[in-house]
């Protein structure tokens, strides 16, 4: 919308607020003549395009959120795997120490 159209729109709003119907109509004609008015189909098409763009932005944001979540889950799984491996190594080392110290008899007594 051009500056002229905005001025005409403002004049129309002021006239409507003052209750001057003739001035309001005059300002409305000026508003449309100066490029402020858009056709219904054009406006509906533009609104549909804006809504589609907004929907696409929401879909893209959700895809990014899902990808971030999947990356976070992958990191957690790697951490858990690393911890499980460390526990396995520690258990093996403990078992070796017990075997070296004659822990076979103790294991037999526990079972």
What are the tens digits of pLDDT across the range 12-51?
667 767 677 777 677 767 766 655 555 667 777 888 898 9
pLDDT per position as a tens digit, 55-80: 999 999 999 999 999 999 999 999 99
Closest to 36 measured CA to CA, from 68, 7, 15, 14: 7
Distance between CA atoms of 12 and 5, rounded to whole angstroms?
A: 10
Residue matched to tokens 């889950």 = 73
């Amino acid at each position: 919308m051009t500056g002229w159209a905005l001025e005409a729109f403002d004049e129309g709003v002021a006239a409507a607020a003052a209750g001057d119907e003739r001035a309001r109509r005059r300002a409305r004609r000026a508003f449309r003549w100066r490029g402020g008015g858009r056709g219904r189909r054009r406006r509906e098409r533009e609104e549909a395009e804006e809504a589609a763009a907004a929907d696409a932005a929401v879909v893209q944001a959700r895809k990014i959120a899902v990808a971030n979540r999947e990356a976070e889950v992958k990191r957690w799984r790697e951490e858990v795997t690393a911890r499980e491996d460390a526990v396995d190594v520690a258990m093996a080392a403990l078992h070796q120490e017990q075997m070296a110290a004659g822990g076979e008899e103790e294991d037999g007594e526990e079972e």
